[in-house]
Amino acid sequence: MIKIQDIMTEPVAACSPDTNLAAAAEIMWNADCGVLPETENGKLCGILTDRDICIALGTRSAPAAGIPVRDVATTNVETCTPESDVHAAMHSMRRAKVRRLPVVDDQGNLKGLLGLNDIILAVDRKGSELTYEEVLNTVKAVSEHRSHKTAAKEGRASVAAVA
């Protein structure tokens, strides 16, 4: 069994709810990442993607420095624990149609991030029970298009709601 703690990315760059989008974009640039967990006192409270920043800036009449992460980040976040099995994490990714899962402990503290890239790189590890077919099926499920109504139900603001 491959545990998340054996393949997750750590440490992870993060931001707070009060971080503005300009500062969040700079953190992403410096950390060479496209997602930032939103944390408060070390506990996960949301997740912000580079796409979230772009959509927010394209649909609001406000500068990036004037929009706090709390107004844009997704708050209904699918997570996993360090002790979780990679198969359970892939199931969660397929169901939620997400490419990354924040890794949290039992108290909700951010411990790392599991991305599809971490899983793909784990396939070739000696003794890995993961197969390329399983990973490809996860990538396919995550890549299916969602409607705006589905995204709004998952905690993402729709374009109409932010315009």
Q: How does pLDDT run across 57-82, given as a tens digit for each residue?
A: 999 999 999 999 999 999 999 999 99
Contacts of 135 (CB under 8 A, 6+ apart): 90, 116, 119, 120, 123
Strands (E), the chain: 35-40, 43-49, 100-104, 110-115
Report if residue 119 sits inside a domain. Answer: yes
Could you tell me the CATH number of the domain that includes residue 112? 3.10.580.10
Residues 98 and 105: their CA atoms lie apart, in Å, by 20
CB 99 within 8 Å of CB 115 = yes
| Per-residue pLDDT at 90 exceeds 50 | yes
Report if residue 122 sits inside a domain. Answer: yes
Residues 31-44, mean pLDDT to the nearest whole number: 97
For residue 53 the two structure tokens come to 């920043």
pLDDT on residue 44: 98
| Per-residue pLDDT at 162 exceeds 70 | no
- pTM equals 0.84
Residues 8 and 103: their CA atoms lie apart, in Å, by 8
Q: What is the mean pLDDT of the chain?
A: 89
Report if residue 163 sits inside a domain. Answer: no
Report if residue 112 sits inside a domain. Answer: yes
Report if residue 11 sits inside a domain. Answer: yes
Residues 52-58, mean pLDDT to the nearest whole number: 97
| Per-residue pLDDT at 43 exceeds 80 | yes
Domain that residue 141 falls in: 4-157
Question: In 10 A of CB 15, how many CB atoms?
Answer: 23
117-156 pLDDT tens trace: 999 999 887 667 888 899 999 999 999 887 655 555 555 4
Domains identified in the chain, total number:
1
